[in-house]
Amino acid sequence: MESTIRVRFAPSPTGPLHIGGVRTALFNYLFAKKHNGTFVLRIEDTDQTRYVANAEQYIIDALNWCTIPFDEGPGKNEKFGPYRQSERKHLYKKYADVLINSGWAYYAFDTAEQLDIHRKDHEAKQKTFIYNWHNRAKGRLINSLVLSKEEVQRKIENGEKYVIRFKTPQDETLLLEDEIRGSIKIDTNTLDDKILFKSDGMPTYHLANIVDDHLMQISHVIRGEEWLPSLPLHYLLYKAFGWQAPKFAHLPLILKPVGKGKLSKRDGDKLGFPVFPLEYTNEQTGDVSRGYKEDGYFAEAFINMLALLGWNPGTEQEIFSLEELIKEFDLSRVSKSGAKFSPDKTNWFNQQYLQTKSDSELTDLFLPILKEKGVSSEKSYVEKVVSLIKERAVFVTDFWSLSDFFFQDPTTYDAKAAKKQWKEETFSLMQELIQVIDNIEIFSSANTETVIKEWITSKEIGFGKVMQPLRLSLVGALKGPHLFDIIEMIGKKTTISRIQKAMDTLQ
C-alpha cells in the first residue's frame, strides 16, 4: 500500500514570487495530485528583517491564478497549523534543546567581532575559516564544548548572547539519495557547524525547516537546487532527532535566455518580459514589477511553459492541460541540468492557447478593451471580427491593432505602401471601382469577390493594381484578413466612403 504523499511549498515572504518559485510550487502540486496527496503551503518568515507585509497574500493570489491552489496552509484546512513559522517559534527552542542534551548541538558565545578576527587571520595565512571539528574544541572559540557547564549556565543567566550550532560528525562519509540526482557522497569533514538557533531567539531555516517538515508529516521535499548544499545538514538533523527523513528532490535552475546564470528580475527588465506571475508593487519604493497575468498571458499557457522547464515528458507533445500534466508528471524525468528560459517560446505557448479558445470567450475578453477605446459595438459583430483576426494574435491585447479598421476609418495611410501602390492610374480605377461596388446587390464576401475580380479581369489588368490600393483605402495599411471579409463586415456605404477618402488624401 502506498504511503500518504504530503509535499510542501515553503516560500519566504520577502517580496514577489519569482517564476522559479512558481515552478517549484507547480512540481510539488503535480506530484501531490498524481499520487492523491496533499499540497501544503508553509510561510517561512523566520527572517523578520526581510519580511514584506503584502508578500504572503501575493503568494496565495499567485498560486490561485496559476490554478495550483494549496490544499492545506494559512487559513485553510489547518490540520498541522499554524503554517507561519513566526507563529511556531515556541516550538523550535524545545527541539534545539533536545539536540543540546543529546550532544548533537552546542552553545556558541563568539561575537561577530571575534569571528571576524578569526576570518581575517585565516585569510592572512591564505586559509578559509570554517567553524567545525578542527577548531571548535581547541579553546580558540568560545562555546560549550570548551567551557564548563557552570560557565555556560552563568553566561546564559547573565544575558550573554549566544547561538546554537549543530555538531557535525567528524570523519564520516554520508551516502545521500536524491530522487533527481541519484546518489551523493559527502565527507563530513568538509562541512561547517551551521547555526540552528540565532541570538535573536529565532531558529534558522535549517532547524525550523526540519522540525516543521517532520511535524507536518511531509513525505517528499521537492525544492530548488540552491538547497542542495544543505542536504547533508538536513540529513544529519533527521538522524540526530531519530526521525525518518523524507525523500528529497532538487530541481534544476531556470537559466537566463542566453543560457548562463540564474534567471533574474534584471533579465526581464533588460529584455522586456516579466519574471513574476502577477504584477507587484513595492510598498516601500512604489516600484511596479510586471506580471504575466497583467501582460495578457493565460494562466494555463504560463503553467504549461513552466512545466517544460526542466521536465521532459519523453514524447514530442508540448501542449498539456493541467490534468494531462498531473497524469504524465514523474520526478524521474526531471533534468539535473539547468533549463534555459525563452521569452519567444513563452509567447508561442500563449498563442497556442489563444487559438483553442472559443470566439465567444475571446470576445468577452476583447469587449473591455474596445470600451476603453470608446468603441461600442454589438457582441455578434465583435465575435465575427475576432474569428477573422485571432490567428494572427499572441495576446488578446493584440486584437485592437489587428482589427481597429473594423470599427473606425483609417486616420493615416502607410506612407511606404502608398508610394508603392498608389500610381497615376489608381485614381481613375478607384473611381470606377466605386461604381462597381455601388451596383452590387448581394453584398456578401463571396459575391463581392466574384464581381470585383470579374471586373478586374475584364479590364485586362493585374489584380494587384486594384486589390492593393483597395486594401490600403479600407485598412490604412497592407495588412488584415481576407479583403472581401472586411468589405462584407464594414458594409457598402463605409467601403465606398473609405475609398473616396483615400482618393481625396492620396491623390
- What are the residue numbers of the active site? 265
Nine-digit cell string for 286? 512604489
Nearest of 276, 163, 204 to residue 48 by alpha carbon: 204
Tell me the C-alpha distance between 246 and 205, whole Å: 17
Contact yes or no for 32/9 (Cβ under 8 A): no
3-state DSSP call for residue 7?
strand
Residues linked to residue 108 through DSSP beta bridges, in sequence order: 143, 163
Torsion of CA 352, 358, 361, 363, to 10 degrees: 90
Contact yes or no for 54/282 (Cβ under 8 A): no
Torsion of CA 289, 294, 297, 302, to 10 degrees: 50
- What sign has the CA pseudo-torsion 427, 431, 432, 438? positive
Which residues in 367-417 belong to E strands, given as ranges?
Answer: none
Tell me the C-alpha distance between 159 and 40, whole Å: 38
- The kind and range of the H/E element at 185 are strand 182-187
3-state DSSP call for residue 475?
helix
Tell me the C-alpha distance between 174 and 110, whole Å: 29
Sheet holding 105-108, edge to edge: 105-108, 163-166, 195-197
Residue type, 158: N
Nine-digit cell string for 347? 509567447
3-state DSSP call for residue 504?
helix
- What sign has the CA pseudo-torsion 174, 175, 177, 182? positive
Tell me the C-alpha distance between 423 and 461, whole Å: 14
Residues linked to residue 16 through DSSP beta bridges, in sequence order: none
Contact yes or no for 398/351 (Cβ under 8 A): no
| Contact partners, residue 71, CB within 8 Å, separation at least 6 | 32, 38, 39, 40, 77
Torsion of CA 379, 381, 386, 388, to 10 degrees: 160
